[in-house]
């Protein structure tokens, strides 16, 4: 009797791991249907790679121009022997000239995070500048970028300047019709803002054509988001797959639309990352639904903490009361459907047959972890993953 009881308990303990098998199948089938084709990923890779190489050439060109101007200026001042102070100043100027005007180009958004779905046509890069970017710099970069692209590739691109958005937009001329936005920004913008918030008095002499500060701050935030995502979410089992599936849900269901983007990514990482063990895609999706259904986005809920801001910030602070209630109610309904074996209705797909046909043994599985190979062209610093932090924050 005791042996039977032990066997029964053991089976009961194992059973919860099996009840998500059907959910796993449905989530993975849905994921396969929304995942970009190889042709789409290659088109994205080509456009991003061409632009990165061209921007590197633009940076070299601007650097050569500034070095030429610096040498001319030094030659004009050769007749004046500098004293100790002027020597020190000249050394500082020389060190400053060693710093490029364009410090680096980094991938952000869907490309950097590997969250592209079928039909995603809008790509993003951030161009880091030494000083606050201006309209004059934007014009110079855009004009020379057109020249450099012709030397990098035979593909034809249309280049548009968007001063109001502090950006340059590149469009290709073939299918799929991709649009790549290059956001100009500088760390100086945030450094000044933090000093002002700290109560410091600054005497800032900005050029009259300096680009919009909020756009520059948003670009810097997107950089922090990309680095955080690569460190926290990319290596978390099932997290990226669930985010892709829920990105599709946010597009299909209007109620979920306000969660699209950064709030959804934070929600999934926190929900899945706080579990006490790795989970399959079906169980991970249900855990995210449980978190939403519990009321964390309600006005009296805990909200979604933004780890990329120094001040305490709620990533869903932009939602109004009605949106919060609708999202919570929708998550509760989705959770009920999942509990009664109808997850396919949540995913917007037909139910799968109880037995799936066996795959041929020689069929290679698709690697869903990396969509676009990392850039080796031109970056200010490599994206590093703080592995030592993972164990602490992910423990329940």
Q: Can you give the pLDDT of all 396 residues of the chain as single tens digits?
A: 554 444 444 444 444 456 789 999 999 999 999 999 999 999 999 999 999 999 999 999 999 988 876 655 554 554 444 455 444 554 554 454 347 899 999 999 999 999 999 999 999 999 999 999 999 999 999 999 999 999 999 999 999 999 999 999 999 999 999 999 999 999 999 998 888 777 777 767 888 999 999 999 999 999 999 999 999 999 999 999 999 999 999 999 999 999 999 999 999 999 999 999 999 999 999 999 999 999 999 999 999 999 999 999 999 999 999 999 999 999 999 999 999 999 999 999 999 998 665 655 555 666 676 788 887 654 544 333 333 333 344 333
pLDDT score, position 18:
61
In whole angstroms, give the CA distance from residue 361 to residue 38: 21
Which has the closest alpha carbon to 239: 43, 363, 346, 390? 390
Cβ-proximal residues to 111 (8 Å cutoff; 6+ apart), any chain: 44, 48, 123, 124, 125, 371, 372
Give the DSSP H or E segment for 126: strand 122-129
Considering the chain, tell me which residue range(s) the CATH 1.10.1410.40 domain(s) occupy. Answer: 237-351
Angle between helix 281-293 and 262-273 (nearest 10): 110
Q: Give the model's pLDDT for residue 372.
A: 81
Half-sphere exposure (Cβ direction) of 317: Cα atoms closer than 13 Å: 6
Q: Please check whether residue 333 is in contact with residue 326, taking contact to mean a CB–CB distance below 8 angstroms.
A: no
Report which secondary-structure segment, H or E, holds 129. strand 122-129
pLDDT of residue 312: 94
- CA 311 to CA 315: how far, in whole Å? 12
CB 183 within 8 A of CB 167: yes
Instruction: Residue 262: name the closest of 41, 393, 107, 110 by CA.
Output: 110
From residue 342, alpha-carbon distances to 85, 268, 349, 370 in Å are 77, 21, 10, 30
Domain 237-351 fold: Poly(a)-polymerase, middle domain (1.10.1410)
- Provide CATH 3.30.460.10 ranges for the chain: 39-70+98-230
- Which of 3.90.1150.10, 3.30.70.20, 3.40.50.1820, 3.30.460.10 is the CATH number of 39-70+98-230? 3.30.460.10
Q: What token pair was written down for 49?
A: 């790679």
User: What does the pLDDT read at residue 151?
Assistant: 96
Encode 241-272: b = buried (16+ Cβ within 10 Å), e = exposed.
bbbbbbbbbbeeeebbebbebbbbbbbbbbbb
Cα angle value 320/324/329 (rounded, 5°): 150
pTM for the whole structure: 0.82
Pairing of strands 122-129, 167-172: unpaired
């Amino acid at each position: 009797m005791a042996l039977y009881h032990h066997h029964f308990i053991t089976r009961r303990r194992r059973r919860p791991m099996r009840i998500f098998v059907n959910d796993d199948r449905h989530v993975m089938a849905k994921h396969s249907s929304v995942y970009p084709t190889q042709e789409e990923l290659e088109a994205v890779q080509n456009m991003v790679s061409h632009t990165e190489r061209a921007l590197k050439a633009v940076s070299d060109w601007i650097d050569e121009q500034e070095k030429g101007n610096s040498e001319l200026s030094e030659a004009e001042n050769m007749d004046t022997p500098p004293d100790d102070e002027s020597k020190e100043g000249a050394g500082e100027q020389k060190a400053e000239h060693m710093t490029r005007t364009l410090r680096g180009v980094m991938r952000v958004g869907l490309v950097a995070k590997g969250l592209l779905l079928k039909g995603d046509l809008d790509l993003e890069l951030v161009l880091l500048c030494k000083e606050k970017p201006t309209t004059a710099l934007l014009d110079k970069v855009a004009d020379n970028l057109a020249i450099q692209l012709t030397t990098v590739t035979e593909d034809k691109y249309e280049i548009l300047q968007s001063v109001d958005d502090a950006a340059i937009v590149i469009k290709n001329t073939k299918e799929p019709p991709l649009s790549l936005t290059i956001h100009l920004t500088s760390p100086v913008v945030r450094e000044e803002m933090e000093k002002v918030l700290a109560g410091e008095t600054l005497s800032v002499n900005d050029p009259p054509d300096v680009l919009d500060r909020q756009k520059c701050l948003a670009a810097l935030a997107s950089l922090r988001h990309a680095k955080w995502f690569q460190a926290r979410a990319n290596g978390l089992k099932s997290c990226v797959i669930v985010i892709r599936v829920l990105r599709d849900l946010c597009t299909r269901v209007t109620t979920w639309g306000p969660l699209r983007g950064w709030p959804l990514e934070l929600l999934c990482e926190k929900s899945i990352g706080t579990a006490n063990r790795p989970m399959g895609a079906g169980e991970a999706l249900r855990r995210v639904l449980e978190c939403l259904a519990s009321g964390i986005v309600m006005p009296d809920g805990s909200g979604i903490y933004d780890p990329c801001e120094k001040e305490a910030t709620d990533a869903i602070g932009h939602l109004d009361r009605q949106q919060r209630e609708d999202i919570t109610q929708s998550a509760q309904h989705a959770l009920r459907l999942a509990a009664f074996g109808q997850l396919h209705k949540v995913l917007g797909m037909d139910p799968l047959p109880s037995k799936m046909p066996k795959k041929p043994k020689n069929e290679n599985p698709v690697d869903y972890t990396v969509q676009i190979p990392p850039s080796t062209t031109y970056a200010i610093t490599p994206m590093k993953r703080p592995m030592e932090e993972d164990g602490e924050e992910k423990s329940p």
